[in-house]
């Protein structure tokens, strides 16, 4: 990659959201903001190789995008011009400041508005804040490009028609809104960590990286929010294990069999720091939320040099705490996996079997049962459970792993 | 911007019937704060008549245009600067009238 190409890639990663956010605030219209931002980047691709990279790429892009937006509005001669004309005259584009500004956070909160469907929030956040293209987002979520385009268009239309404001929610709305934002970011991360389709890589590094980047953004703006810290820690500790998670043959490697030397020590250290920060807050009487507890569970796993050193009783205690907050069958299933290590596969199987009705369509339920049955020497039943898990698993790396385990059964 | 706030009742699991004083008090507040445009409760769907005069002659039929468990029990029209304000009021309205409400902007 040439220096200019690299500068453009970097500017796209670092400045896209800020340019879109600044224009959204100024013109009050996501479409105009997005199209003008895209035009500004296209102009950069044309001009920078000849003119050189400007000293402040962010400011250059914002100014260029502003001009493009004004041109577009003039050209289209919109009905509600007066309002916009006034903004164009009196609101000089602000120079981008620092790494993060409130414009970006405002944009995230607009994209994650509770009046939008969850899937629309995810798509819109990746498009407007993450700068991912529609085909990229469609690929990540295994839908047709046209379907994703419709989803995004519909969300933008609702924002306009229902007049969803592009502003930071007030302090008393914030807790309710932040939880939606975090849910969106965790969905993006999970899709990257265990991609759900047969036609995609088992791990989508681009999605996990983007989710972590956006969570860092929220963290910088809401440093006091425990769940933001918890989610960031959780993502970092899961991401740290990524290098050990897929074998050379493309097979998913479960936690117990991973090469722990390949884990990212820096990410683990950062994750552990955040978890310790939250433990201190918990000791001072602040009750932790689910992301903080999940992060603590992952801190226990990443503290063990060997699977045999894992403090399973600590893991189980944390799961008990989590079940009280979130009594979902999926949490109960994960708790059972820890219980198997502490109390044996027979006890765990009894817990798992009680979840049959709720989780009949969930591949991890059948994979867990298959493993427990295998450990109990019930090969025939184990094989049947592997078959069902393979049928339901969408991820190629996971299917490969489950198939091998099944075929090893006597 | 004006929003239509539809009050949705449920035939099999209806909301409580003692809401009138609370709704009146809420309306007073909406008026005082400048959000209130119009409001009204609706008679039961049994009282509805559907008219179709798209053909040769008008056809009158007894009953609502759609038979369902859920039905429109009343409406508000509010003037609010944006959806966030409307949603905040709507959350209160749902509690006040003990029913689900739907918020929809006018064109």
Q: Any idea which residue has 């949705």 for tokens?
A: B8
A298-329 pLDDT per residue, tens = 999 999 989 999 999 999 999 999 999 989 99
Tens digits of per-residue pLDDT, B27-45?
Answer: 999 999 999 999 999 999 9
Residue A337 CA to residue A369 CA, distance in Å, equals: 10
Tell if the CB–CB gap between B83 and A169 is shorter than 8 Å. Answer: no
Residues of B in contact with A164 (CB under 8 A): 82-84
pLDDT in tens, A82-92: 555 555 555 55
- What tokens appear for A46 in the block? 């044309």
The pair phi, psi for residue B86, each rounded to 5°, is -60, -40
What pLDDT does A136 receive?
80
What is residue A88's predicted lDDT score, i.e. its pLDDT?
Answer: 56
* pLDDT over threshold 80, residue A270: yes
**Residue B81: closest CA among chain A residues belongs to which residue?**
A163
Tell me how close the Cα of B78 comes to any Cα of chain A, in angstroms: 13
In percent, the amount of chain A with pLDDT more than 90 equals 59
- Chain A residue with minimal CA distance to B88? A173
A135: helix, strand or coil:
helix
d(CA A394, CA A198): 6
Model confidence at A397, pLDDT cuts 50, 70, 90, reads confident
Give the gap in angstroms from C-alpha B82 to the nearest C-alpha of chain A: 5
Residues 84-103 (B) with a CB less than 8 A from some CB of A: 84, 87-88, 103
**pLDDT above 70: percentage of residues in chain A:** 92
Judged by phi (left if over 0) then psi (alpha if -120 to 50, else beta), residue A101 lies in beta
Quote the pLDDT of residue A210.
86
Q: Which range among A187-201, A209-223, A255-269, B56-70 shows the weakest confidence by mean pLDDT?
A: A187-201
Tokens of A252: 């998913």
pLDDT band of A75, cuts 50, 70, 90:
confident
Between A279-288, A312-321, A376-385, A393-402, the lowest mean confidence (pLDDT) is in A393-402
Predicted confidence band at A32 (pLDDT cuts at 50, 70, 90)? very high
Whole-number pLDDT of residue A281: 94
Q: What is the ipTM of this complex?
A: 0.84
> Does pLDDT of A185 surpass 80?
yes
Mutation for A interface: B5, B83, B102, B104, most A CBs within 10 A: B83
Hey, of B1, B79, B84, B101, which one would you mutate to test binding to chain A, going by the most A CBs within 10 A of its CB? B84
pLDDT at position A119 over 90: no
- As a whole number, mean pLDDT of residues A165-186 equals 82
- The Cα A95–Cα A22 span in angstroms is 10
Tell the residue number behind the tokens 């800020």, with chain if given. Answer: A18
Q: Can you tell me the distance from the alpha carbon of A236 to that of A299, in angstroms, rounded to the nearest whole number?
A: 10
For residue A162, the chain B residue with the least C-alpha distance is: B105
**What average pLDDT score do residues A237-245 get?**
94
């Amino acid at each position: 990659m040439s220096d200019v190409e690299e500068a453009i890639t970097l500017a796209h990663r670092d400045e896209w959201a800020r340019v879109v956010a600044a224009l959204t605030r100024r013109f009050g219209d996501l479409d105009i903001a997005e199209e003008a931002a895209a035009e500004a980047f296209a102009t950069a691709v044309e001009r920078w190789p000849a003119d050189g990279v400007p000293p402040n790429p962010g400011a250059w892009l914002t100014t260029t995008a502003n001009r493009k937006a004004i041109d577009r509005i003039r050209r289209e001669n919109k009905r509600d011009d007066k309002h916009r004309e006034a903004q164009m005259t009196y609101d000089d584009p602000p120079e981008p400041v620092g790494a993060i500004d409130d414009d970006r956070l405002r944009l995230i909160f607009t994209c994650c508005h509770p009046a939008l469907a969850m899937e629309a929030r995810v798509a819109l956040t990746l498009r407007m804040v993450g700068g991912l293209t529609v085909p990229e987002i469609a690929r990540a979520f295994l839908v047709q490009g046209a379907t994703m385009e419709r989803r995004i268009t519909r969300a933008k239309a609702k924002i306009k028609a229902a007049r969803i404001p592009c502003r930071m929610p007030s302090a008393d709305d914030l807790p309710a809104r932040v939880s939606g934002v975090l849910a969106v970011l965790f969905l993006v991360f999970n899709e990257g960590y265990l991609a759900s389709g047969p036609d995609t890589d088992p791990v989508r590094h681009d999605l996990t990286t983007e989710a972590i980047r956006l969570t860092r953004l929220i963290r910088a703006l809401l440093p006091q929010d425990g769940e933001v810290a918890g989610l960031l820690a959780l993502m970092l500790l899961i991401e740290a294990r990524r290098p050990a998670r897929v074998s050379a043959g493309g097979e998913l490697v479960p936690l117990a069999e991973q090469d722990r030397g390949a884990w990212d020590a820096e990410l683990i250290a950062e994750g552990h720091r955040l978890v310790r920060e939250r433990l201190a807050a918990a000791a001072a009487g602040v009750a932790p939320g689910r992301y903080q507890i999940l992060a603590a569970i992952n801190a226990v796993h990443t503290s063990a040099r060997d699977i045999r050193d894992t403090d399973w009783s600590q893991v189980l205690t944390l799961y008990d705490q989590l079940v009280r907050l979130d009594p979902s069958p999926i949490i109960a299933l994960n708790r059972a996996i820890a219980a198997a290590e502490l109390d044996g596969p027979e006890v765990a199987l009894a817990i798992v079997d009680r979840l049959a009705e709720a989780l009949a369509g969930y591949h991890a339920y059948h994979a867990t049962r298959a493993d427990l049955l295998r450990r109990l020497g019930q090969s025939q039943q184990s094989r049947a459970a592997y078959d069902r898990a393979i049928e339901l698993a969408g991820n190629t790396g996971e299917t490969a792993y489950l198939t091998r385990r099944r075929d090893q059964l006597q | 911007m004006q929003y239509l706030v539809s009050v949705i009742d449920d035939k099999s699991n209806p909301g409580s019937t003692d809401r009138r004083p609370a709704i009146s008090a809420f309306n007073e507040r909406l008026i005082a704060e400048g959000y209130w445009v119009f409001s009204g409760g609706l008679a039961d769907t049994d009282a509805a008549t559907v008219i179709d005069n798209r053909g040769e002659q008008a056809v009158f039929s007894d009953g609502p245009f759609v038979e369902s468990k859920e039905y429109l029990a009343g409406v508000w029209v509010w003037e609010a600067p944006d959806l966030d304000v409307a949603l905040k009021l709507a959350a209160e309205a749902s509690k006040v009238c003990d029913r689900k409400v739907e918020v929809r902007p006018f064109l």
